[in-house]
């Protein structure tokens, strides 16, 4: 049996991987891609669907809208069933995560004014949007249910908003426990599932509100439309602050007064981008074919393997694991902290053909989407990383931080 | 010389049309398309660009963002120069018209609270969004500068919002005169240029705010990203209500507090849909190659010809022209009003292979985008319309109104 630090060990894990065949569904490239948690790879079937949709536009012209108009709700139902554990009529695919978070949080606060609780290391756009909507109380990173309960103790909290998986550390939150703590305090709970959708089983039953994106582990393309979730029981109570015509009852009657649809559709705003929306369907179907439960199993194995290699090779070189060791407490990316993280990340990209990404102040993130990442990819990436630090190659690069995506 | 009602007359006009060759730039279909004012045709170069962008995603993966991130501002500058008469740094391509209108109107009212003036027949999404933001005072259809001055007379108006070309009647507003009336009353002026962008020369210099779409006369595809304009002098004063990370200064520093960019970029919200955005560039370049001045000239000739045929053939059958006869007061679509408009529109689509659209209560709209519409198309469409009404074919259809896009 090969030792864990031998490439043969990784190759053995790949040979036993029941999901290995899904890699053939993707357009591949020479470089070792470790940033699928930021932007997923291109599925071949998405390339085909986009081309077909463009042709459909050319041929059907405006009459295509008879089907296109159903896409936000139809894709929402697909996500509800396969990805986020919700009911039909509780999810829409539309707008960006930012705009959806704004719509949901503003609607919640309009109904029940009060303080917003979020975490100090919540994803920036979430923090900024919430700052614009009211008073924000900040939790320390990766809060537990008790922390949320304590923050809600004054009784003035209207909304708790957190990420299911933290974008930087990769920590997986206690969704059920935190939701219960928010509810116990009379607050609504809004989850951002951008970094868990498609790799961690999600059960939104009981959750009030959620937003998520389709361009990370769902592979629908750069800036692909996002999604929003609202439990059925809230839909008649809450109103979108953006009173758009796609949320209007009898939209094409174009009546004088805004009269929103009685269901989730009231949270649509303007005309949806059809070419981008069309890409979401085959992308999500591909994830559904593998199944989130199986993907989670492989994801845990991949991140565990990365942590083993970190411990063996990288910890002695000054790295520190930024991601929880408990598999039940992490998502599908691993963050390695290093004081020279910025230069090391650039050196990996520019000198070693490995693409991770960097998140300030010191985290190099390795995304390990189980749908197309092999164990040998992890071995190769970390082997190159180890050599590059041992050989001090990164010292040849500009130490100044700049824009990294 | 052929009489105006003979097809040979139309063919003669086409033979003399300097823009005739642009038709070859588009994917064509058998049916006579008269709804390019709702959704423009597919330019061949857009089909190619979309395919290239998808491939770029597959190959460059997340590193593609180094260029993609500039698209909203770069395409905005293209629109500023070629389409809307604005300066570099005054236009962004992003989100939907609805979301952009919301951002601009909310920002304006936040700075200067007061009454909103719009028109009773303003496009629905505009009216609904404005209703959600404050007290709305409604003008009669197609207001003149004097009407706006009268509505602003009480001195309580903060924002005037109108369409440059009315979506139903096709009437072209007095942009400069109305803007002056709004300014005289101390109000900001917001123009919706959805139905004029690409067919009517626009000069936004002096205008405060504007929104528009790229899927009508700019042919960027169903639900393609919209644009927003804000004059340079306002950009430091106004703040987007949606405090998204794409509007943040030093976006990837991901700092603790929202600190918006000092320019137009502060009005970006979330991650932009790159595949849909990429389609905008070649679509707008194509319009720019023809030139809006030349397009306007042909547009006026097309609508004038449609009105001539209406007078000769359709007025005797009970139609009434819903569009101004004065060419200086109309855009690039012609509305024909008829009590049976709904069924007549359906019959044209289902029985005559002509695609116009219907707008309640009684308008059949014929969009005549000069970039690909021939004079013989107008003749053929109106000839079929005439026969269909003479032969009462439309009476075979269900009279109940339903959803028409």
Quick: pLDDT tens for B353-391.
999 999 888 999 999 999 999 999 999 999 999 999 999
Which among A29, A66, A128, A261 is the top mutation candidate for probing chain B, defined by the most B β-carbons within 10 Å of its own β-carbon? A128
Distance set, CA A125 to CA A68, A151, B230, B270 (Å): 29, 21, 23, 8
pLDDT of residue B2 exceeding 90, the answer is no
| CB half-sphere exposure, B278, CA atoms < 13 A | 26
The answer, for B65 touching chain A at a CB cutoff of 8 Å, is: yes
pLDDT of residue B405 exceeding 60, the answer is no
pLDDT of residue B139 exceeding 70, the answer is yes
Distance set, CA A396 to CA A208, A344, A405, B91 (Å): 50, 10, 21, 40
pLDDT of residue A253 exceeding 90, the answer is no
Choose among A61, A125, A404: nearest Cβ to B33.
Answer: A61
pLDDT at B358: 93
Choose among A33, A58, A276: nearest Cβ to B42.
Answer: A58
Residues in A touching B256 (Cβ below 8 Å): 120, 127
Higher-confidence residue: B70 or B30? B70
The answer, for A225 touching chain B at a CB cutoff of 8 Å, is: yes
Contact A224 B273 (CB under 8 A): yes
Contact B274 A221 (CB under 8 A): yes
ipTM higher than 0.90?
yes
In whole angstroms, what is the distance from residue A226 CA to residue B148 CA? 39
The answer, for A275 touching chain B at a CB cutoff of 8 Å, is: yes
By annotation, the residues of B acting in catalysis are 123, 192, 215-216, 365
A116 closest CA partner among A100, A103, A98, A131: A131
Contact B258 A215 (CB under 8 A): no
Pair A396, B60: CB distance under 8 Å = no
In whole angstroms, what is the distance from residue A256 CA to residue B122 CA? 10
pLDDT at B394: 92
The answer, for B41 touching chain A at a CB cutoff of 8 Å, is: yes
pLDDT at A403: 43
Residues in A touching B242 (Cβ below 8 Å): 98-99, 102, 129, 132
pLDDT at A105: 98
Instruction: Using pLDDT thresholds of 50, 70 and 90, give the confidence band for residue B253.
Output: confident
Residue the block writes with tokens 């190769």:
A380
Contact A222 B274 (CB under 8 A): yes
> What pLDDT digit, counting tens, does each position of A125-156 carry?
999 999 999 999 999 999 999 999 999 999 99
Task: Report the 10 Å Cβ neighbour count for A250.
Answer: 12
Pair B103, B269: CB distance under 8 Å = yes
Pair A102, B242: CB distance under 8 Å = yes
pLDDT of residue A385 exceeding 90, the answer is yes
What's chain A's average pLDDT? 96
Instruction: Using pLDDT thresholds of 50, 70 and 90, give the confidence band for residue A296.
Output: very high
Residues in A touching B55 (Cβ below 8 Å): 27, 47
pLDDT at A399: 77
pTM: 0.97
In whole angstroms, what is the distance from residue A105 CA to residue A189 CA? 10
The answer, for A30 touching chain B at a CB cutoff of 8 Å, is: no
Choose among B125, B128, B242: nearest Cβ to A102.
Answer: B242
What lies within 8 Å, CB to CB, of A360 at 6+ separation is A401, B252, B253, B254
Pair A164, A217: CB distance under 8 Å = no
B54 closest CA partner among A46, A215, A78: A46
What's chain B's average pLDDT? 96
């Amino acid at each position: 049996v090969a030792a864990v630090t031998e490439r043969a060990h990784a190759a053995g894990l790949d040979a036993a991987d029941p999901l290995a065949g899904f890699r053939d569904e993707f357009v591949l490239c020479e470089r070792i891609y470790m940033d699928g948690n930021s932007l997923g790879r291109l599925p071949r079937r998405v390339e085909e669907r986009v081309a077909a949709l463009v042709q459909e536009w050319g041929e059907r012209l405006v009459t295509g809208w008879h089907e296109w108009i159903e896409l936000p709700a139809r894709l929402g139902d697909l996500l509800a069933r396969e990805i986020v554990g919700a009911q039909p009529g509780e999810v829409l695919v539309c707008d960006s995560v930012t705009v959806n978070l704004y719509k949901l949080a503003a609607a919640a606060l309009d109904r029940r004014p009060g303080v917003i609780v979020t975490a100090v290391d919540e994803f920036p756009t979430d923090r900024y949007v919430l700052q614009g909507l009211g008073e924000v109380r900040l939790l320390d990173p990766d809060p537990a249910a008790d922390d949320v309960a304590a923050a809600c103790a004054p009784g003035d909290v209207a909304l708790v908003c957190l990420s299911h998986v933290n974008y930087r550390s990769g920590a997986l939150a206690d969704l059920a426990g935190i939701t219960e703590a928010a509810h116990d305090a009379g607050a609504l709970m809004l989850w951002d599932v951008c970094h868990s959708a498609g790799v961690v089983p999600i059960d939104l039953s009981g959750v009030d509100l959620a937003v998520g994106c389709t361009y990370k582990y769902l592979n629908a393309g750069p800036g692909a439309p996002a999604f929003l979730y609202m439990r059925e029981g809230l839909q008649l109570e809450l109103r979108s602050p953006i009173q758009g015509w796609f949320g209007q009852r009898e939209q094409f009657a174009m009546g004088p007064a805004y009269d929103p649809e009685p269901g989730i559709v009231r949270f649509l705003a303007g005309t949806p981008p059809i070419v981008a929306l069309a890409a979401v369907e085959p992308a999500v179907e591909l994830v559904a074919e593998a199944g989130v439960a199986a993907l989670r199993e492989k994801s845990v194995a991949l991140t565990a393997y990365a942590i083993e290699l970190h411990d063996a090779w990288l910890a002695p070189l000054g790295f520190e694991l930024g991601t929880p060791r408990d598999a039940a407490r992490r998502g599908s990316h691993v963050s390695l902290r290093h004081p020279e993280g910025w230069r090391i990340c650039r050196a990996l990209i520019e000198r070693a053909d490995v693409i991770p990404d960097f998140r300030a102040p010191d985290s190099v993130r390795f995304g390990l989407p189980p749908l197309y990442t092999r164990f040998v990819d992890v071995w190769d990436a970390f082997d190159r990383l180890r050599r590059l630090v041992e050989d001090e190659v990164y010292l040849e690069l500009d130490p100044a931080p700049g824009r990294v995506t």
